[in-house]
Structure 1
Amino acid sequence: MIKNIVFDYGDVFINLDKPATVRVLHELGVKDISEEMMNVYKLYEVGGIATGEFVNRFKELYPNIPSHKFIDAWNAILLDFPLHRLDFIKELKASGEYRLFLLSNTNDLHISWIQNDWGMELYNEFKDCFEQFYLSHEINLRKPNLNIYEFVLNENGLLAEETFFIDDTQENTDAAAELGIKVWNIDPLTEDIVDLLAQKEFDE
């Protein structure tokens, strides 16, 4: 029986254009994302370096690109937040049937953009739907590493077999499933989180 639901953020609630950052950087003259830059990104995503240092590392590699253009390219991945999804999560919370959690690989620049784009009132209205709102740069852990799922389970006294996790990335749901968590690898092109309770995986 499912008692706990853990949601990803991007392409579950907020729509993403995942190739956008690479596309915009390419337009700025960055022909290839180096392994060094990917390592810096992963470090930034778990809060290992601050935003200023992250931007400065990029500037060292590409001194001809202004910082504000890099930041705009970095945030180009983020699109809209369909408000019917807010209605859904508010109704799910109001039902009191499940403990609700958010677990996202999200960095400081992205969450700052979301707060500014949505406005803090809407952002907090969404955030308040969850018992815990876990962002990778704040908890220093990232998916698909098993320790992030173990952290959520242990921190909240959850049983894996009573927990359901939704994420659009296959390796993230595969990792959670290794621990016995029930999962839905949602396809953002054909599926919507508002149909969660109708999923066969949720009923199994």
Structure 2
Amino acid sequence: MIKNLLFDLGGVIMDLDRNRCVDAFKGLGMKDPDDFLGLYGQKGDFLALESGEIGADEFHRRIRPLFGNPDLTDAQIDDAFNQFLIGIPVDRLEALRALRSDYRICLLSNTNPIMMESKIAEEFRKEGREMADYFDGIVTSYDARCCKPGKEIFDYAERTCDLVPSETLFFDDSQANVDAARSFGFHAVLVRPGDEFADLLRNFCENLTPAPDVR
């Protein structure tokens, strides 16, 4: 029986546009943002920020030389970075709230403190609420100091959110993350472009089969 829903953020709850972010960084003078920014994972100092190896201040210090403009402000860098995030449709926020009456709702996201404390927080507040009003537990890669699809972050989510994998359904837009979750005993559903998690949940429950016992 599914008791917990574990959600990825980008591509599942939050709509993304990687190309918009790439263009914004190029507009500030960065030559090769494609070398650092991936749809499902980052590289270099972007990965260091996402994995909690460095904080926002150190991130700004490290990447500022890539723009060739020593006068570039932190706010300009952050604004360009946040172009990755389009927003959260109100109907998804409403769906999350409705699901809390039947399930424990948790978030498991590869993300960074710059986005989390600005654009992401703003999107969840637009209905007059806070993120805590939507989730029973929130796990970010920078807090866990590890990233999906590694086992460490799923173990971290189990501990901090008190999850039993066989009672938990995980939603993610990365096949690698979905495959990893299944290998660790979670139920998991791939969210493709155009999919809505509420519809996928309904379909899953209609065709529920036991998760593999890997413990």
Length-normalised TM-score, structure 2: 0.82
Q: Please give the secondary structure, in 1, of the residue aligned with 2:86.
A: coil
**Once the two structures are aligned, what percentage of the paired residues are identical?**
31
- Taking CA–CA contacts closer than 8 Å with sequence separation of 6 or more, which of the two structures ends up with the larger relative contact order? 1
Is 2:67 the counterpart of 1:62?
Answer: yes
Paired with 2:121 and 2:5, the residues of 1 have a C-alpha distance of: 27
Aligned to 2:199: 195
Report the CA distance shift for 1:31/1:179 in structure 2 as closer, same or farther (over 3 A).
same
Q: Please give the secondary structure, in 1, of the residue aligned with 2:87.
A: coil
Paired with 1:59 and 1:126, the residues of 2 have a C-alpha distance of: 31
The one-letter amino acid of 1:4's match is N
Contact 1:24-1:73 at 8 Å conserved across structures: yes
Report the CA distance shift for 1:125/1:155 in structure 2 as closer, same or farther (over 3 A).
closer
Cα deviation for residue 77 of structure 1 reads: 0.6
Contact 1:102-1:130 at 8 Å conserved across structures: yes
Cα deviation for residue 110 of structure 1 reads: 0.5
Report the CA distance shift for 1:27/1:62 in structure 2 as closer, same or farther (over 3 A).
closer
Cα deviation for residue 116 of structure 1 reads: 6.1
The one-letter amino acid of 2:17's match is D
Aligned to 2:89: 82
Write out per-residue CA displacement over residues 15-69 of structure 1, whole angstroms, 9 at most, x where no aligned residue. 111222222222333232456x922111111222121110111112333272333
Write out per-residue CA displacement over residues 110-164 of structure 1, whole angstroms, 9 at most, x where no aligned residue. 0122256337474744432221111222222221111111122234443322211
Write out per-residue CA displacement over residues 85-109 of structure 1, whole angstroms, 9 at most, x where no aligned residue. 1111111112xx3222111112111
Paired with 2:116 and 2:169, the residues of 1 have a C-alpha distance of: 24
Q: Please give the secondary structure, in 2, of the residue aligned with 1:184.
A: strand
Aligned to 1:117: 122
Q: Please give the secondary structure, in 2, of the residue aligned with 1:79.
A: strand
Aligned to 2:151: 146
Length-normalised TM-score, structure 1: 0.86
Report the CA distance shift for 1:93/1:190 in structure 2 as closer, same or farther (over 3 A).
same
Paired with 1:115 and 1:173, the residues of 2 have a C-alpha distance of: 23
Contact 2:121-2:130 at 8 Å conserved across structures: no
Paired with 1:121 and 1:16, the residues of 2 have a C-alpha distance of: 18
Task: Identify which range, 52-61 or 156-165, moves more after superposition.
Answer: 156-165
Report the CA distance shift for 1:114/1:174 in structure 2 as closer, same or farther (over 3 A).
same
Aligned to 2:213: none
Aligned to 2:20: 20
Report the CA distance shift for 1:121/1:173 in structure 2 as closer, same or farther (over 3 A).
same
CA RMSD of aligned residues (A): 2.4
Is 2:4 the counterpart of 1:4?
Answer: yes
Is 2:127 the counterpart of 1:132?
Answer: no
Cα deviation for residue 178 of structure 1 reads: 1.2
Report the CA distance shift for 1:186/1:121 in structure 2 as closer, same or farther (over 3 A).
closer
The one-letter amino acid of 1:80's match is G
Q: Which runs of 5+ in 1 are unaligned?
A: none
Q: Which runs of 5+ in 2 are unaligned?
A: 37-41, 210-215
